[in-house]
Chain A
Amino acid sequence: MNQATPPAWAEEILRVLLPPRDRDSVGGDLIEGYRERIELSPRKAAADLWYVRQVAGFAYRSVGVWAFAFAALFVARGVVDALIATDDFTVRSTISTVLAATVWACCGATVAWRTGLIRSGALAGILTATVAPLVTVTLNALFYGVVVLTGSDQIFVNIARSGGIEEGFTLPFFVVGPGIVLAAIGGVFGATARRIQSIVRPPRML
């Protein structure tokens, strides 16, 4: 029986994303699959890659919806700015900033609520930060592609006045820092709420 172990960082990510009930059993399932792969083919790199892909699948299921929510919000703001002219961006900026902050905080809070771990919130923020900007930039590229092909002069004027096309490709990367912080703060609330709940109503561990 081989004693090979998967990358420690991937194991830690998996542990931090799973609820306590599944932490050991799912971790064991993946180690079993990992060692089966090593038995079949002694190339450790292939087994490592398999393990990391499985962990990425769990990560996607934990935070994917929040990454897409952030991207949708960001792109929607760009579409509104392009299609509806305004001189005062204050209201729009306030609404989109509050909504984006809510998305990041909820991302951290829900993951930390599920796991009961404060650090899950920060990890959820980091994972979302690696995916959300890429999704946002891709969707923005599609939108601006359509604008370039079919847009009117007024739309180009509106885009220029709202910050320009380049903002759609740079801003998503600048907001991830504050986003991670907000997710971490959300994580504190989520994990604390879970602990209070487990004191008031202790879980049944089957």
Chain B
Amino acid sequence: MADALGAFEQAVLLAIVRLRKEAYGRAIHREVEERLGRSVAAGAVHATLQRLERKNLVTSELGEGTEIRAGRPRRFYSLQPSARLALNDARAHIEKLWNGFEWPLKGRI
């Protein structure tokens, strides 16, 4: 069983999965906001990425900058095998919790 992931950690990791080779800070921030449907602080995404790196769930490396970034480099993130295990565990955990319920819930509970 891998480390239990919080909902926001899952959102960040899944953003990296979706973005593949284009998973750098701003792109991950945009993707997380889009998926969660609300504005998210860049600091929250950055802090989560740092935490995931400390947990050895992601690695990062610097890439080149672009004009829109005033030439500043992009930090690209990629998943470690342990992140896939952790995401699968998180999904299995949710499935187990919802097992036996129809979704969306209807009527009186």
Contacts and interface: CB of A to CB of B under 8 A. Distances in A.
A36 B29 CA distance: 13
Contacts of B46: 22, 26, 29, 58
B2 to A, nearest CB: 23
Interface residues of A, number: 22
A31 B69 contact: yes
Contact of A24 (B26, B41, B44, B72): B72
Contact of B26 (A32, A53, A57, A206): A32
Contact of A25 (B25, B43, B66, B70): B25
* Majority SS at the chain A contact face: helix
Contacts, number: 70
Interface in B1-41: 24-26, 29-30, 41
Interface in B38-89: 41-44, 46-47, 60-62, 65-75
Interface in A28-81: 28-33, 35-36, 53-54, 57-58, 60-61
Contacts of B25: 25-26, 28-29
B68 A25 contact: no
Contact of A29 (B42, B60, B67): B42
B70 A31 contact: yes
Query: Interface range on chain B: under 10, 10 to 19, 20 to 34, or 35 or more?
Result: 20 to 34
A1 B73 contact: no
Nearest to B46: A26
A25 B30 CA distance: 15
Interface of A: 1, 5, 22, 24-33, 35-36, 53-54, 57-58, 60-61, 206
Given A24-B72, A35-B68, A57-B42, 15 more contacts: A1-B67, A1-B68, A22-B75, A25-B72, A26-B25, A28-B26, A29-B74, A32-B26, A32-B69, A33-B29, A54-B41, A54-B43, A57-B44, A58-B46, A206-B61
